[in-house]
Structure 1
Amino acid sequence: MKTWFHSWRAAIRIARRDAWRAKGRSALVLAMIALPILGVSAFDLTYRSSELSPAEKMDRSIGAADARFLDAQSGGTPIYQTPAGDNYAQVKDFGDGVWPTGRTDLGRAVPAGATVLTDSTGSARLTTRHGLLQAEVRELRAGDPVARGIMTLLEGRYPEKSDEVMATSHFLETSGLTVGSTVSARNFDRPYRIVGAYELPDELTALQVNALPAAFLAPYAKAMEKSGLPAPESSTSYLVKHRGGFTWNTVQRINTQGIVVMSRAVVLDPPSDSEVPLYKKEGWGNYHTSAAAGAAELAAVGTVVGLAMLEICLLAGPAFAVGARRSRRQLGLVGANGGARSHIRAIVLSGGLVIGVAAALVGTVLALILTLVLEPYLEEMMGQRFGAFDIRPLELLGIALLAVLTGLLAAVVPAVTASRQTVLASLTGRRGVRRSSRVLPLIGLGALLLGGAIALYGSVVSDQFIIVAGGSAIAELGVVAMTPALVGLFGRLGRWLPLAPRLALRDAVRNRGRTAPAVAAVLAAIAGTVAVSTYGASRDAQARAEYEAMLPHGAVSAVVMEEGGRDVPAVREAVERNLPVDVRADIARVQVGKPGCPPWGGGPGCGRYELVIPKANECPLHVRIPGGGDASEKYTPEQRRKLLTEDWRCEPNDNGGNIPVEGGLLVGDAKILKVLGIRDAGAEKALAEGKIITFHRPLIDGNGTLGIKVITDTVAADKAAENGLPAPGEIRPIPAHLVQGAPKSYGLQALMTPATAQAAGLTTVPFGSYFSTDRMPDEEQRQKLDAELAKLGGSADVHVETGFTDETSIVLLSLTVFAGLVTIGAAAIATGLAQADAEADLKTLAAVGAPPRVRRTLSGFQCGVVATMGVVLGSAAGILPAMGLRLTEEREQVRYYEEALAEGWSVDITPPYVPIVVPWQTLTVLLVAVPLGAALLAALVTRSRGAVARRAVT
């Protein structure tokens, strides 16, 4: 008895043989389905391999130890922590009071009988073959069995003596040193011999040197203090190995001493969220483990997969239609010999099944091979070593089944179309005339209107991006459903076209079954590209408007913030040697305390200063309240808005954010104004008269002076600030001049000459220079400068103002190229189908004396027509989602701006600028270059001469 199994087995055999005979068409469809499968499978393998298991993470973090103890710097007060030990918070909320700080003795929490390794880290400027290099110094007995797994030894051996170190391979490569070389640090004459090379599996690009405990950091700190320079900070943690490990209850007990514990047992078997006190603390969400996060992630993945399947089906569907039309006589014979329509559908569907299975196998195998071959390069790109090569059979099987399903879905429409043909029409090659569906365009129009309304609601009323995206997707699907009807409307343009394009357009209209899917595929690709391009161009325009230049275009700044500006002269000379300098303006900074204090103050023996705003000039919203509190709370939202927008005391202040010194105060002469492009004769005169110039009106008191408060006791100043009181210190008034017209000062808030600073009793140290240039420094000049500065140890911070850089241009170009390739591919498939369908017409043209080039010209125009229709419709459909998203962003930013004004925050009083920019250049490329390229490519690959055959006998 014949069953469905036998009929499907026969159908699969027929489909397999037909696919083998038409190798070119089969390879095209197979590649079309296999490429996404290859990409997704390779991503899955890469992601799973790079995703370390909890055990692998522990091996890299704590080696063979059972736990790592870290100081929470909470002065020993109790803390709550996450099970992984990657975050913590103090148990008590001290509010506006003084939060306990300070180190905790880790040793008191170590249980008796435990094995302990200290792991200390600090930084130093190490000597290299080229000069100096800032690197991390780690003191850990790496050869101890407890530490195995933290570092991977690549060459040589572990340090065994106090004058031996080993270095990461990246440090050796950057420094030009090798195993056997010696290394030391600046201001530290003790040499160390490099005896080995290693890598950190989680940070391949680490610049790190490993030494034995107490062999480097402590002697280096003493040498720095002896030189009168502040010692670098360091931190120490304990690797603890204890029989029985550390349970969650034990971890919580140790947390009461202000110590964070990264426990292997807890990470491998974490407690439930309800047992973690930190998650119950106000402000500590756990969204990443919630069901909502999982649902959102699943929805995003499902959307991407669904769109990818739709794209493949739209592209592969016409290719299966080509096969069905080329096999129509074979299918007719099946019907003539008693085959039912279900058998014909099974044969065509089997073609999709065969191609889908082959694509799944090819894509999966290639993904495995490609991932294995590229694994070392991927690790270098990601900066970390993978764990075990993780193959998830069920995930790969699911991806492979996706290919099979895609192949079947792509063959559904051709299968139904082939089964509807009569046996006589299949055997004779004649096709009946069928009226296009009138329901589908109406459904598409309804989806377009509904999707547009949803997107409009999302952009005007709601604040949810997902609503805009969902409405835009529905509208785009509506346009796809309307494609056959829109293709018919395009056919009305044929009366004004020459012969060849008119024939191509009418042929496309008559055969909408093959034209519409190809146009829809091009439409989908172009719509996505136009949407992203429009959104990207709009964001780019906003970023360009919001860009804040640190200097005038082409100007250069070079500052040295370490060691009291010791390298400043060498940095100035290096810049002048390598860049086209026009004017050099030297700058210095005010220093309070011993030599070597950082620009922002702080540290032992280091004070700081403040630019004083007189009490009469303080913004009422920002007045300090003794004991703490918010002064703006006594005002209504409308009063706060009025103060921020109309009161000069509350005007926004360019508070020196581009200059890394307190208050943006620099010491220099009038050349600085020239480099910064500030043309003010009054300011130059004021500097010459010994005044300090400022660009911020509230800094000048009623006597025309600007006060600089010198703070020597920073501890008392911090305590006063915590209580809402002014910091104690001596105020030194200096005659001031306000630069009128509010010119752009590029972060410079106040400027005085060295003589003025000396007269005020202020100590200054060299800080760097500003340079104007004759022309924009090129890349070669900048690389030479970087190489020369590297020899100084990299202490100089050099900035060349190149203006706003369009970071999205490469992305937009890539999207345009991708859309072009998809468009050409879809149009080529439609052209192949058109040539198969129009073979008789071409033979007729040849028989009546048409020139040979007509065949090539007609083929090119057939491809160009499909590409043009898809590009035009896709461009129109793609702008909608971008506009909706931008309108939603504008509403959010305007709302935030209004709330900020109402709350009395110090914000820029300029309303947010959220433009919608259409990328005309990208649209021009899509509308002109892509269809033209598709047409030329189709014309070039089409034979101009075809064999003249006798008319088939019917």
Structure 2
Amino acid sequence: MNRWYHSWVAAVRIARRDAWRFKGRSSLVLAMIALPILGVSAADLTLRSAELSTEQQMARDLGAADARMTDPGMGGVPILQAPDGLNTTPVKDYGDGVWPEGRGDIEAAFPAGAKTLKDANGSGKLRTGHGLLNAVIHELDANDPMTRGMMTLDQGRFPDKAGEVAATVHFLEAGGLKVGSTIAARGLDTEYRIVGSYELPDSLKADEVLAPPGTFLAPLDKALKADDLPGTETSSTYLVSVGGDGFTWNMVQKANSKGVAVISRAVALDPPADSDVPLFQKEGWANYEQSTASEAAALAVVATVVGLAMLEICLLAGPAFAVGARRSARQLGLVGANGGDRRHIRAIVLSGGLVIGIAAAVVGTVLGLLLTFALRPLLEDTMGRRFGSFDVRPLELLGIGLLAVLTGLLAAIVPAITSSRQSVLASLTGRRGVRRSSRVLPVIGLIAAGLGIAITLYGATATDSVPVVAGGSALAELGIVALTPALVGLFGRLGGWLPLSPRLALRDAVRNRGRTAPAVAAVLAAVAGTVAVATYAASDDVQQRAAYSAQLPHGAVTVLNAEGGGRDVPALRAAVQKHFPVDVRADVSRITVGNVNCAPYSDVKGCGRYEIHTPKENRCALWTEGTPGAKELTPAERRKLSSDWRCKESGHYAEYDVLVADERLLSVLAIDDPASVSALKSGKAVSFDRRNVEKGKIGIKLITDPAKADLMTQKGKEYPGEIKSFAVHEAPKAATAYGVKIVLPPQAAKAAGLLTAPVGAYFSTDKLPSGPQQQKLEAALDTLGTDGGLYVEKGYTSENSIVLLALTVFAGLVTIGAAGIATGLAQTDAEPDLKTLAAVGAPPRVRRTLSGFQCGVVAAMGVVLGSAAGVLPAIGLRLTEERQQLKWYEEALDSGMGGMQEAPYVPIVVPWETLAALLVAVPVGAALLAALVTRSRTAVARRAAG
């Protein structure tokens, strides 16, 4: 035991001195291992710091209070809730009956002697330095001790009297304001002074204004009158402090019996067992947590990625250790000549990996800590939330560091075994000998590659399992890595067709496969991952482009605003026409029920809505299924109805499905149908949905009491609203109105007595508005005091082009780096050969040319093999997605939702541009770079001392 210990101490000492002696090679290997460790340790520290503990999360949600009591909107009936207070349901199962809704009484559920604080939230448009900005309006007494921890004061103070407000830092920056500025809500004349700025730790980019209770929300939430702007919905909760043991689970259940939900600090810190939660015992409910199978699948994917990354590092670092061992062959031979056996030789080479691995672990971990600490503000701003704490997990960092040590040892194993097998005489004389390539490794590689391809295709076509596809792809890639020495030999047969320098480079690469094959395999691994992601991204881009549903023809513009009965609409129309290259302008109005100031789908008393009347014989049976008295359909009947024309949906959506406009709207919508144009000119409506047409007429039903109509619908009855009938022309089936179902001519709407209000305009443009034109229009809309509801149809915008470019650049850098490492090792290893070339009269430029071609040959071989290997996982994942989406589509057909969607389209597209860039640009770039940084002349060698 003592001899073993001392031999290893000596081996480590020799390895440390050797690493310090050859600082360049050691730094290169250290950097390769330390960089991934730096990234992983920084990611671990960032994730752990951003992950809040339960106590920290409760402090941000509840401040110093014990609980937050909320009305779930179930009319005050007894409820059941999950311990986190987020999931609730009534105790009684109402089945197909009318489910309770409406406000409950939170105050009736307050525990005796509790201290409470109202916390109200709404939203509204506030006047800023630039115009109008929609923001959350938060009314809370922030000076109460119960709010401590919910907000962090940045400047000034929290408001404590009428006329004062505070605002988030982001709101002030977005609105061009500062502490001391004044703001006002649109529609209200009172101005309020900003006395402080603050931030929400969980939402740094929130636009929010904090005010004392009753400042904004009371006037904004008043009943709607004819001359008022629409109000804002207000939600109110109560912070509760009870003292003692806090708000216990029994107290939560007592509040539930009065229809109130509770988020409790005590329950969150010490949740009850599932058996003590009545909600989890109810049929159809469960305590949803990530399943063991999904966790295992995620771990399998992570393990695969980490394994491949370690493999790539070992493939790059291994040749460096091999060259180092050869450079130290005389030293190792002296160890053998002085009584050292093969164990000692292996120990010395392995100690080199151990020393570099430990150094890489220390350097990578320390740099990861320092980088995360320095970038903490940037990371928090990027995530939009503050860290809970700077959470350092020593055991996790130690595990990440051990990964570096393991990687260093694995990279040194093969060089250690090779060095130990060399005879003492060969080591002392510098002779390498001739060793035949392994015949077993290519066979193993071929079997692994075939098995991996089979597993990948099986996982994609039979199991729908992403981990199986990932595992099969990884196995296939490992098989190709094992085949690399044999494939490098095949590449060598091309040498007869090449000029002198590339022929020498290729033959040198083939002759030294122990050095070339790992570098080629490392390039292969990097390029394979890039090609896989690029192929998947390109295929997904084509799929998304096909699935994109345009709201308007390309280049068309809409401006829609229903506020204030359309009083700002004329100014909005004029602003768009002034700043955009408008070709045709079509003014549009909307139907209102009650008065012109009623917002669409408003629940304010006195405001109604309209519906397009669909004749009974044109109604889809799927939409009435589930109502009282309706027939229950079988899956086969639903599947059949999915192809029925009455159950088909266009896939387009418009804010208003009925518009009052003239024939110019058809021109903007690019509908070239003379009959439809003539119909509108003659006072006829135009319908783009044949389901609404009956005997040449369409109907618009006016609903004056929406609440009653909804209640009758739940009971399977039809609301007896007044139906306005219009003569109609049915547009051709090919005509696409982008979600608009009916266009009513103004004269027809007026003759029928419909109440209408201007809502905006549709515009066609000579060319797509430019960025500066749109910015000028936005500034004009700000001057008008409205956002205008502007939309410009720019068509499908692909984000994958940037992704593909980034991937190509990344793969290029990794490939050039790996090829450069291989070239540097080749130069070091082949120094005697280069001196021989110089001795026989080769010009100095041959050295530079040979170096460039050595680098280019390695890069070219790796790129070719990596491109072939990378397509497999992408094809497997796309086939898996296609199978999953087909399955979901079949389920949608059985459930009757097939008419709402098209059959899945999951193409497989090879990104030829990316492959071309990798296959041509990367090897050429690597060769040129290597040639430029290589010295043309070599130093004169000195004779070794005798």
TM range (shorter): over 0.9
Aligned mates of 2:349, 2:630 — CA distance in 1: 76
Change (3 A) 1:387 1:896: closer
Provide Cα deviations, 1:707-759, integer angstroms capped at 9, x if missing partner.
Answer: 11111111221012102222221111100001114222211211112111111
Aligned mates of 1:271, 1:407 — CA distance in 2: 48
Q: What corresponds to 2:345 in structure 1?
A: 344
Aligned mates of 1:425, 1:90 — CA distance in 2: 85
Question: One-letter code of the match for 2:248?
Answer: T
Q: Is residue 221–residue 234 contact of structure 2 (8 Å, CA) maintained in 1?
A: no
Q: What corresponds to 2:81 in structure 1?
A: 81
Aligned mates of 2:359, 2:331 — CA distance in 1: 23
Counterpart secondary structure, 2:189: strand
Q: Is residue 230–residue 604 contact of structure 1 (8 Å, CA) maintained in 2?
A: no
Q: Is residue 561–residue 796 contact of structure 1 (8 Å, CA) maintained in 2?
A: no
Q: Is residue 123–residue 137 contact of structure 2 (8 Å, CA) maintained in 1?
A: yes
Query: Deviation at 1:122?
Result: 1.2
Counterpart secondary structure, 1:333: helix
Q: What corresponds to 1:658 in structure 2?
A: 653
Q: Is residue 165–residue 211 contact of structure 1 (8 Å, CA) maintained in 2?
A: yes
Aligned mates of 2:165, 2:766 — CA distance in 1: 47
Query: Deviation at 1:573?
Result: 2.3
Counterpart secondary structure, 2:289: helix
Counterpart secondary structure, 1:434: coil
Aligned mates of 2:478, 2:43 — CA distance in 1: 28
Q: Is residue 588–residue 764 contact of structure 1 (8 Å, CA) maintained in 2?
A: yes
Question: One-letter code of the match for 2:850?
Answer: L
Report how many residues are paired: 945
Q: What corresponds to 1:619 in structure 2?
A: 620
Q: What corresponds to 1:821 in structure 2?
A: 813
Query: Deviation at 1:229?
Result: 3.4
Q: What corresponds to 2:11 in structure 1?
A: 11
Q: Is residue 300–residue 467 contact of structure 2 (8 Å, CA) maintained in 1?
A: no
Q: Is residue 632–residue 904 contact of structure 1 (8 Å, CA) maintained in 2?
A: no
Q: What corresponds to 1:302 in structure 2?
A: 303
Provide Cα deviations, 1:142-200, integer angstroms capped at 9, x if missing partner.
Answer: 01111111111111122121221111111112222222222221121222222111111
Q: Which moved more, 1:933-942 or 1:596-605?
A: 596-605
Aligned 1:306-325 pairs, distance under 5 A: 306-325=307-326
Aligned 1:55-70 pairs, distance under 5 A: 55-70=55-70
Aligned mates of 2:622, 2:223 — CA distance in 1: 48
Q: Is residue 720–residue 727 contact of structure 1 (8 Å, CA) maintained in 2?
A: yes
Q: Is residue 184–residue 190 contact of structure 1 (8 Å, CA) maintained in 2?
A: yes
Aligned mates of 1:238, 1:570 — CA distance in 2: 43
Aligned mates of 2:224, 2:12 — CA distance in 1: 80
Q: What corresponds to 2:189 in structure 1?
A: 189
Q: What corresponds to 2:159 in structure 1?
A: 159
Counterpart secondary structure, 1:17: helix
Q: Is residue 45–residue 368 contact of structure 1 (8 Å, CA) maintained in 2?
A: yes
Provide Cα deviations, 1:497-533, integer angstroms capped at 9, x if missing partner.
Answer: 1111111111111111111111111111111111111
Question: One-letter code of the match for 2:658?
Answer: L
Query: Deviation at 1:223?
Result: 8.7
| 1:750 aligned onto 2:742 | yes
Counterpart secondary structure, 2:190: strand
Please report the TM-score for the alignment, with normalisation by the length of structure 1. Answer: 0.96
Query: Deviation at 1:277?
Result: 2.9
Change (3 A) 1:630 1:337: farther
Question: One-letter code of the match for 1:694?
Answer: S
Query: Deviation at 1:836?
Result: 1.8
Provide Cα deviations, 1:253-309, integer angstroms capped at 9, x if missing partner.
Answer: 211211111111111112233333333444444443543343333333322222221
Counterpart secondary structure, 2:121: strand
Q: What corresponds to 1:215 in structure 2?
A: 215
Aligned 1:19-98 pairs, distance under 5 A: 19-98=19-98
Query: Deviation at 1:70?
Result: 0.7
Aligned mates of 1:529, 1:285 — CA distance in 2: 41
Provide Cα deviations, 1:612-633, integer angstroms capped at 9, x if missing partner.
Answer: 1111222344456761545533
Question: One-letter code of the match for 2:870?
Answer: G
Q: Is residue 596–residue 756 contact of structure 2 (8 Å, CA) maintained in 1?
A: no
Query: Deviation at 1:903?
Result: 4.0
Q: What corresponds to 1:257 in structure 2?
A: 258
Aligned mates of 1:242, 1:586 — CA distance in 2: 59
| 1:762 aligned onto 2:745 | no
| 1:883 aligned onto 2:884 | no
Q: What corresponds to 1:691 in structure 2?
A: 684
Unmatched 5+ stretches in structure 2: none
Query: Deviation at 1:797?
Result: 1.9
Q: What corresponds to 1:445 in structure 2?
A: 446
Aligned mates of 1:120, 1:26 — CA distance in 2: 63
Aligned mates of 1:806, 1:514 — CA distance in 2: 42
Query: Deviation at 1:439?
Result: 0.9
Q: Is residue 184–residue 191 contact of structure 2 (8 Å, CA) maintained in 1?
A: yes
Aligned mates of 1:878, 1:720 — CA distance in 2: 59
Q: Is residue 687–residue 752 contact of structure 1 (8 Å, CA) maintained in 2?
A: yes
* 2:766 counterpart (770, 774, 779): 774
Q: What corresponds to 1:100 in structure 2?
A: 100
Q: Is residue 15–residue 355 contact of structure 2 (8 Å, CA) maintained in 1?
A: yes
Change (3 A) 1:584 1:590: same
Q: What corresponds to 2:666 in structure 1?
A: 673
Q: Is residue 67–residue 262 contact of structure 1 (8 Å, CA) maintained in 2?
A: yes
Unmatched 5+ stretches in structure 1: none
Aligned mates of 2:666, 2:219 — CA distance in 1: 45
Aligned mates of 2:821, 2:626 — CA distance in 1: 74
Counterpart secondary structure, 1:99: coil
Provide Cα deviations, 1:390-448, integer angstroms capped at 9, x if missing partner.
Answer: 11111111111111111111111111111111112212221111111111111111111
* 2:777 counterpart (785, 800, 811): 785
Q: What corresponds to 2:267 in structure 1?
A: 266
Aligned mates of 1:951, 1:825 — CA distance in 2: 34
Question: One-letter code of the match for 2:197?
Answer: A
Aligned mates of 2:409, 2:571 — CA distance in 1: 71
Aligned mates of 1:479, 1:162 — CA distance in 2: 74
Aligned 1:70-149 pairs, distance under 5 A: 70-149=70-149
Aligned mates of 1:896, 1:943 — CA distance in 2: 62
Question: One-letter code of the match for 2:909?
Answer: V
Question: One-letter code of the match for 2:538?
Answer: A
Percent identity over the alignment?
65
Aligned 1:341-490 pairs, distance under 5 A: 341-490=342-491
Aligned mates of 1:210, 1:868 — CA distance in 2: 62
Q: Is residue 72–residue 259 contact of structure 1 (8 Å, CA) maintained in 2?
A: yes
Please report the TM-score for the alignment, with normalisation by the length of structure 2. Answer: 0.97
Counterpart secondary structure, 2:739: coil
Q: Is residue 132–residue 792 contact of structure 1 (8 Å, CA) maintained in 2?
A: no
Query: Deviation at 1:943?
Result: 1.0
Query: Deviation at 1:595?
Result: 2.9
Aligned mates of 1:749, 1:23 — CA distance in 2: 75
Question: One-letter code of the match for 1:187?
Answer: G
| 1:733 aligned onto 2:734 | no
Q: What corresponds to 1:700 in structure 2?
A: 693
Counterpart secondary structure, 1:198: strand
Aligned mates of 1:417, 1:563 — CA distance in 2: 84
Aligned mates of 2:894, 2:160 — CA distance in 1: 64
Question: One-letter code of the match for 1:580?
Answer: P
Q: Is residue 318–residue 829 contact of structure 1 (8 Å, CA) maintained in 2?
A: no
Aligned 1:531-930 pairs, distance under 5 A: 531-623=532-624, 627=628, 629=630, 632-633=633-634, 637=636, 640-645=638-643, 647-650=644-647, 652-654=648-650, 657-661=652-656, 664-701=657-694, 703-907=695-899, 910-930=902-922
Change (3 A) 1:906 1:482: closer
Q: What corresponds to 1:200 in structure 2?
A: 200
